[in-house]
Amino acid sequence: MQISKIFLYDEPSVPELNLEKLAKFLKNTFNLKVEIRRNVFSKASHTDAERMASCRIFNVRKPFEKHSPTRDEIDFEKLSFATTSKMENIVMYDGFEFQKIVNDLIEQDESITDYFHVAFSNKLTCTYDDSDYRFHGRAIICSNPTIISTTGIIEAPAKPKEYYMDLISNMAQGLNVDSIKKKYHGTYLEYHDPRLSTIVEGYLMQAIFYYLTGDPFCDSRECRLYNPHWQKDLFYSQIEVGKLCEKHQKILKDMVNNLNY
Ligand SMILES: [Zn+2]
């Protein structure tokens, strides 16, 4: 696979993504042209809304089954396409079905293998895991186009164990959830967190490594390609370490040479 140009599709409800900064990061890292576009759903049709509503997940313990959407569910999707910030409750979607919808929204003449598309969305993409027989939220669906779910980045890697313990014991006593959130503030990523853009740089690298090498992840926490299970590991690899391990630095160097051959 080759890439000659990268397209980033904005999620306007999450200005902390800072697409200008991400475009600069990609240009500096891969020496490639980058173009910023409007939200990928800005041109979506009634049929796309219908398709989106039909890939909702209702039972996390069952593999994906196409849902027959109601009128209200289709209208909800139409509204969310028009104004992405109109989402109050988190809805789960099958990530692969979601990816197919986005793929069909890419202009045909730009749907070529050396154009790499990355669509940001605040919708929560999920995939069914055969190892524990349930759906999990995902921050990223690696493919071309790649989907990066801003809600997935926040909800998929787990918060500190103590946070859940406190939450459960306090809820049993009828106490306020906000006080728990305050206590753990800073230890996990929150909505509109200013660190989001830096964290997304790591996911963009994973997407490009996946496309070009088939292998997006690294086992080492000392690498931005590390796939975190915990929020603290996400911060560690992306913010504290903030670079690739030696092995992946070398792969990146070869990759950049190839891309600009
Ligand atoms: Zn690595």
DSSP 199-223: HHHHHHHHHHHHHHHS---BS-TTS
Cβ contact 55:42 at 8 Å: no
Query: What is the share, in percent, of the chain residues with pLDDT greater than 90?
Result: 78
For residue 109, how far is its CA from the centre of ligand 1 (angstroms)?
Answer: 35
The pLDDT, as a whole number, for residue 124 is 94
The pLDDT-based confidence of 38 (bands split at 50, 70, 90) is very high
The pLDDT, as a whole number, for residue 211 is 96
Domain CATH for 21:
3.40.390.10
Cβ contact 140:149 at 8 Å: yes
> What's the total number of domains in the chain?
1
For residue 196, how far is its CA from the centre of ligand 1 (angstroms)?
Answer: 21
**98-128: pLDDT as tens digits:** 999 999 999 999 999 999 999 999 999 999 9
CA distances from 83 to 19, 88, 120, 145, 250 (A): 18, 12, 14, 22, 42
For residue 132, how far is its CA from the centre of ligand 1 (angstroms)?
Answer: 27
Alpha-carbon span 195 to 200, nearest angstrom: 9
More confident residue, 86 or 105: 105
For residue 34, how far is its CA from the centre of ligand 1 (angstroms)?
Answer: 24
More confident residue, 28 or 162: 28
Q: Which residue has the tokens 């926490």?
A: 221
For residue 253, how far is its CA from the centre of ligand 1 (angstroms)?
Answer: 13
Helix (H) or strand (E) holding 36: strand 33-37
For the ranges 21-25, 42-46, 192-196, the lowest mean pLDDT is seen at: 192-196
More confident residue, 227 or 179: 227
Instruction: Inform me whether the pLDDT recorded for 259 exceeds 70.
Output: yes
Q: Which residues contact 256 (CB under 8 A, 6 or more apart)?
A: 29, 30, 31
Instruction: Inform me whether the pLDDT recorded for 13 exceeds 80.
Output: yes
Averaged confidence pLDDT in the chain: 92
**151-163: pLDDT as tens digits:** 999 988 887 777 7
For the ranges 77-81, 130-134, 165-169, the lowest mean pLDDT is seen at: 165-169
For residue 214, how far is its CA from the centre of ligand 1 (angstroms)?
Answer: 14
For residue 217, how far is its CA from the centre of ligand 1 (angstroms)?
Answer: 7
| pTM of the complete model | 0.92
Range of the domain at 211: 5-259
Mean pLDDT over residues 250-254, rounded? 96
At 209, list the tokens: 């490594």
Q: What is the dihedral of CA 121, 124, 130, 131, to 10 degrees?
A: 110
Alpha-carbon span 128 to 64, nearest angstrom: 7
The pLDDT-based confidence of 70 (bands split at 50, 70, 90) is very high
Instruction: Inform me whether the pLDDT recorded for 214 exceeds 80.
Output: yes
For residue 123, how far is its CA from the centre of ligand 1 (angstroms)?
Answer: 29
For residue 254, how far is its CA from the centre of ligand 1 (angstroms)?
Answer: 14
The pLDDT, as a whole number, for residue 85 is 81
The pLDDT, as a whole number, for residue 90 is 84
The pLDDT, as a whole number, for residue 25 is 98
For residue 117, how far is its CA from the centre of ligand 1 (angstroms)?
Answer: 23
The pLDDT, as a whole number, for residue 210 is 97
For residue 240, how far is its CA from the centre of ligand 1 (angstroms)?
Answer: 15
- The number of residues in the chain equals 261
The pLDDT-based confidence of 175 (bands split at 50, 70, 90) is low
End-to-end CA distance of the chain, in Å? 13
